[in-house]
Structure 1
């Protein structure tokens, strides 16, 4: 097998997305998973709007959307009643806008989600090596040697292979984290949650169904419209069942005891799991010779535990989404380093940027868990709402050393999940979409910014100004790492014919309006490969200052 630059251990959504980002950047990868077969189970099924935007930029969104549905209503019952006693709106449907085309979460069972991502990887010539597990690793100044054991029909084969980088996306029970001797800092509580995917007859699959008799809570979540496979979730927040590991039959007994619904029957179980409530993330470690990077860790090493570094309540559907956003943040930086365009010090900012986001995510999921599962609220239903911060559209990197913020806001106290609230484009926040862009000199179909943004390069958007000021910016861009886009205001279709930029007319007016731009003065918006605004500059010097933070 040819050598690969990066070994990815773990083929969940985080590992698959990281592989896609790196492969699109021309970085060779090898992705292994210790399971002999691809995992089944709906597991984490909520894909939040910000993750949908990243999937749009990555080019995988169409098949993700085809594979799931929006968030339905939840109906709640009391014991013995067949008719619901009320409904809970999990998420208000938000009408798409030009700058936010994906404002609503999408529900896709995780096994289906992973299958979609694997299909895109196969198109890039990458397949998952199942039955392959990391046994140990040995660190060197410029590489890491991984000992991998592969189990197949012929038995076990052990190999030692050298990689430039090793990334652990193998989850909360990470082998990579254990090999590095890293420990979680946080708390493990007595309560736990039991999950199973099970065939259910007698329940409407168009809704989620909930019974709540504190300290017990049970709900059924359908795998999709017209599907009779539901995820059954049960928890007891008392200590009575703290050490209990449930079987299928015991969970069915709990259902009947709580509901008295003998009209509901159960078929086969396809997946069953117990989750001990934990809220934790990696702390600092004491092995400076280990070549490893992760939030909250020293930034000078080469083995990177990614989603293996935070564990928390599933309330709010933040875990899978945080892991995907982790690796998109990491992926473009690792690609620039691997291609020799950026110093390894750029990887320090993975920790710097994601740590504060994960810290608030842990608090958010803990608060939601208390409201949902323990009833720690005057209105227990409010914990189920999936709007606002949960959608993750406000996740930002304010205060990052590589984000060129306005002097007025740099260093200000900004929460990692907050929206900019500025009414105009601002560095450190998501770059909005804008449809209705038409290539000057072409009669082709209109395009939009999310179709132009790329995980492979920075996108430099030029608004306003004249040919002279724009030419100065274009002439000083690092050509190997950027794509320049000149956005002409609505109605303007002529400019310097020799411009090296992609020239688009903002025919629908959404780009200038959504970004709060003026026609009579130059503004340059630099969009990072992860769809975050890295800088808003007014001249070539401002653009150069930003790229000096990024590139070698």
Structure 2
């Protein structure tokens, strides 16, 4: 089977890795002439970290990134206090990555590209889709290079201005608020301690100010500041003028501006995520305000949900992609919009991040089913000990493109590689009282875990 993916951002890269490790033929193209070099989506949520663990890139993500910084808050030039967007949580047996992790998007993409290359797949830059047709068996795409490509499936992960979505005629419903504009940039700042984040504002307007968030892997900060509606200057001089205005002259000297842009609140959701053999994912299907750090993470989850379904290639399975992911995207857009509205209204709680932004509560369950854990819920981790006393975990055994059958206190042992027999006291291949607790399991229960880490 072959799949053509348009768009080599985090969504397209995640999907390409997942398909390649399953042995599918993958081509990943991107219309850009060179790789993106900026922070943009720099917050990786805990559920994304779990996905990156499964894909084999978590060690590099953790090595190159950093935890959420403590923010120093200055009001009219005086230190007002310190706060974190979210309290630091300790790992638990069922949640090994409880906290968001900071890593600039370009660094995340580089890690994913390196992993993809291990499967012999390279991103084809300066290559765009300019047209396509489909029938019941395949998709035929015309590329900007003049090549014609035939594949069983096409996935548009080509951003908010997605050609694939537009060519399909899918409505992209939502709003763009031109009255709110934010200047973003990656820049070094002499005079600021890179171990901390900063918020500079005036006492009489505390929620309108400059955010300076330290980026991992160097001395740059991600800069964010409000703009007047008619201002589009993204130069370092414009950034410096805003720093001087909000923080005071001489507080920080900016240098080495490597990326900047003007952002407008754009909240949209595609009417459909699929037409026949063509799918859309990531920003092509939903665009978010940056509040809450949900956009990149939701796109990665789209890809992780779609990969195994494309490999399965059954209509009843493929049909669940839109059902599961569009519903979730609508929910996440609501979270992002609520935080954005709080910020506009000057509500200080807009700077706080709760459990709902970590995406560990994403579920595809039947909402009428009130049992504590059911089909569609995230499969929790749990520590395991084998008969020789060796320690491992459920996530270690889930890792890979397979599904896993959990059997709790089975009467006979299994010899299947991806069946995990769990007992309470050494009576099975693995012992884990925690697994019984996290899965609310009884002796004799069997639970199938999908390859994307959700209960079947």
- Structure-2 separation of matches of 1:93 and 1:51: 17
- Structure-2 separation of matches of 1:300 and 1:108: 34
The alignment status of 1:26 with 2:28, answered yes or no, reads no
Q: What's the offset of the Cα at 1:514?
A: 2.6
Match of 2:77 in 1: 80
Q: What's the offset of the Cα at 1:526?
A: 0.8
The alignment status of 1:526 with 2:448, answered yes or no, reads yes
- Structure-1 separation of matches of 2:302 and 2:390: 34
Match of 1:264 in 2: 252
Cα offsets for 1:347-404 (capped at 9, x unmatched):
11111111221111111001111223x2442xx1x222223111111110012xxxxx
Contact conserved, 1:21 with 1:455, CA < 8 A, in 2?
no
Match of 1:216 in 2: 208
Contact conserved, 1:56 with 1:451, CA < 8 A, in 2?
no
What pairs up with 1:57-456 in 2 under 5 angstroms?
57-81=54-78, 84-149=79-144, 157-190=145-178, 191-213=180-202, 214=205, 216-224=208-216, 227-236=218-227, 240-242=228-230, 244-283=232-271, 294=273, 301-307=276-282, 308-337=284-313, 343-372=314-343, 374-377=344-347, 380=348, 382-399=349-366, 411=368, 422=372, 425-438=373-386, 440=387, 443=388, 445-456=390-401
Other structure's SS at 1:252 match = helix
Match of 2:418 in 1: 483
Other structure's SS at 2:265 match = strand
Cα offsets for 1:488-518 (capped at 9, x unmatched):
332225xxxxxxxxxx321x53222332333
Match of 1:16 in 2: 13
Q: What's the offset of the Cα at 1:336?
A: 0.7
Contact conserved, 1:88 with 1:384, CA < 8 A, in 2?
no
Larger RCO: 1 or 2 (CA < 8 Å, sep 6+): 2
Q: What's the offset of the Cα at 1:263?
A: 3.3
Contact conserved, 1:280 with 1:310, CA < 8 A, in 2?
yes
- Structure-1 separation of matches of 2:383 and 2:116: 28
Q: What's the offset of the Cα at 1:224?
A: 2.2
TM-score (norm 2): 0.93
Please identify runs of 4+ aligned residues in structure 1 that moved more than 4 A: none
Q: What's the offset of the Cα at 1:147?
A: 1.1
Contact conserved, 2:409 with 2:427, CA < 8 A, in 1?
no
Match of 1:460 among 405, 413, 419: 405
Q: What's the offset of the Cα at 1:335?
A: 0.8
| CA root-mean-square deviation | 2.1
- Structure-1 separation of matches of 2:122 and 2:408: 42
Cα offsets for 1:286-344 (capped at 9, x unmatched):
xxxxxxxx1xxxx550111111111121001011110001111111111111xxxxx22
- Structure-2 separation of matches of 1:71 and 1:201: 21
Match of 1:515 among 418, 428, 439: 439
Contact conserved, 1:455 with 1:530, CA < 8 A, in 2?
no
Bigger drift between 12-21 and 262-271 goes to 262-271
- Structure-2 separation of matches of 1:362 and 1:16: 22
- Structure-1 separation of matches of 2:122 and 2:360: 32
| TM-aligned CA distance change 1:276 to 1:245, over 3 Å | farther
Q: How many residues align?
A: 451
Cα offsets for 1:451-478 (capped at 9, x unmatched):
11145222110002422xx77xx9xxxx
- Structure-2 separation of matches of 1:85 and 1:243: 29
- Structure-1 separation of matches of 2:120 and 2:3: 15
Task: For structure 1, list consecutive stretches of 5 or more residues without a partner in the other structure.
Answer: 150-156, 285-293, 338-342, 400-409, 415-419, 494-503, 535-552
- Structure-1 separation of matches of 2:438 and 2:170: 44
Q: What's the offset of the Cα at 1:210?
A: 0.8
Contact conserved, 2:420 with 2:430, CA < 8 A, in 1?
no
| TM-aligned CA distance change 1:263 to 1:255, over 3 Å | closer
Other structure's SS at 1:66 match = helix
Cα offsets for 1:404-425 (capped at 9, x unmatched):
xxxxxx635x8xxxxx7x3xx4
| TM-aligned CA distance change 1:113 to 1:234, over 3 Å | same
Q: What's the offset of the Cα at 1:211?
A: 1.9
Task: For structure 2, list consecutive stretches of 5 or more residues without a partner in the other structure.
Answer: none
Contact conserved, 1:461 with 1:526, CA < 8 A, in 2?
yes
Contact conserved, 2:41 with 2:105, CA < 8 A, in 1?
yes
Contact conserved, 1:57 with 1:454, CA < 8 A, in 2?
yes
